Amino acid sequence: MGGVRTALFNYLFAKKHGGDFLLRIEDTDQTRYVTGAEQYIIDSLQWCGLKPDEGVEQGGPHAPYRQSERKDIYRRYADQLLISGNAYYAFDTPEELDEIRKSFEAEKKTFAYNAVERLKLKNSLTLSEAETQQLLATGAPFVVRFKMPENEEIVLQDLIRGEVKFNTVTLDDKVLFKSDGLPTYHLANVVDDYLMEITHVIRGEEWLPSLPLHALLYRSLGWKSSMPAFAHLPLILKPSGQGKLSKRDGDKLGFPVFPLEWKDPVSNEISTGYRETGYFPEAFVNILALLGWNPGTEQEVFSLDELIQAFSLERVGKSGSRFDPEKARWFNQQFLRNRSNMELAEIFAEELNQKGIASSMEYIENVIDLVKERVEFAKDFWGQAWYFFTAPDQYDEKVVKKRWKEGTGKIMLELSGVLDQVELFEPENIKSAIETFVNERSLGFGLVMNALRLALVGGSMGADLVTMVSMLGKGEVKERINKAVQTINK
């Protein structure tokens, strides 16, 4: 959800201002590469209706859009930073750094590869030029680190948070490039954003601590005047409001956090998706839009076009936004109610076909019209309307005990005969015939109607009874009454 919301806010902002929305696949960290993830991202955006103007599928003037296919570009800029003195080679092995961290921890200190510590470690700042070149020539593992300025205050503007300040004393020398020939996120994104002419970077607040490094990279590469504007979105919080909503929270807390169902290729663990749960994509998009942004009006339900027109970063909040699963279901219900009976009937008809039930679209539309106010998801139609398509095969014992007294079966059979005589089998005529029957026999109207409902649906649930009788038709009503009398009386 968090990733899709970030994409959505980028999309809305781009479209609001006549810009382009780019999809770039950031796959330079091979240790975190997940098979199928790229296609999952593409499919998720497509389901949400967020079509990139440029990307791995669309192509475009800034291709290629997979960072793993751009590594020669990054090497060039890593070299530029090394030559200008803004970066340096570091040859410390992971094992050596682990030992140093442990020694710091023993003294209750925290190790950081920073302006102070770098002068005590194995890198091109402490080694001679000859020693550095010798290590490179022999293929010694290395990384390229950014040389963070000492004690410099960095003042930047965030489009959501306003002025933000950092001091380089608190920042470490981040790795920019690895000996496997691939960059880290920091170098790759700054280079790509510049080369792809990105004007605005809208991302999660977890990237706010990286902002000073990225700004310094723009300055170090001579691109300060081309640096994009940055906006860091607030966190999506758990329903309790305590802590960030994580990808593992959803199924544990009883709701999806993935747009589409996701099967982890390593663990085979399956995470539920909004699509598979029955959400309409428009509802999912609407849910995400209001997590952290508000339109400043009472309107809650938006089409994608309406969101584009209303969206502004000025109305994105700084605080985390609590996710409400019940409100999410409410949104889906609103979009379901706004769909035509024909659209919903086409969805329901597929389920009926799978159950081997044949019915006319006109009949299904009429059923939908009766029950659509009762459901939140299209998958709920069967639970609310099954009795329009199949007779009950059992009768609720509690309802039988309450509504079916001695002699009720005889009354139902008499009523069946009365209904059989109604010429124009429409609700008004059916209701009139039942009222006449009740009055002539001095029966309670509730007694007759409740027993009739029990006979037709097997319980006390269901749509308007007279309308139901009309739609089922004389023959089906007669059969169900006979079956109920035989079964319940026995």
- Out of 247, 318, 327, 398, the active site residue is 247
Provide the 10 A C-beta neighbour count for residue 31: 5
Distance in Å from the first CA to the final CA of the chain: 55
What are the C-alpha distances in Å from 18 to residues 83, 305, 403, 427, 475? Answer: 39, 13, 65, 54, 61
* Nearest CA among 185, 188, 189, 218 for reference residue 201: 189
Calculated CA dihedral for residues 141, 147, 148, 151, nearest 10 degrees: 130
Query: Using CA atoms, how far apart are residues 371 and 353, in angstroms rounded to an integer?
Result: 19
Residue 247 a catalytic site member: yes
User: How far apart are the C-alpha atoms of 36 and 43, rounded to whole Å?
Assistant: 11
Q: Which residues pair with 143 in a beta bridge?
A: 90, 178
CA 414 to chain centre: 56
As annotated, the active-site residues are 247
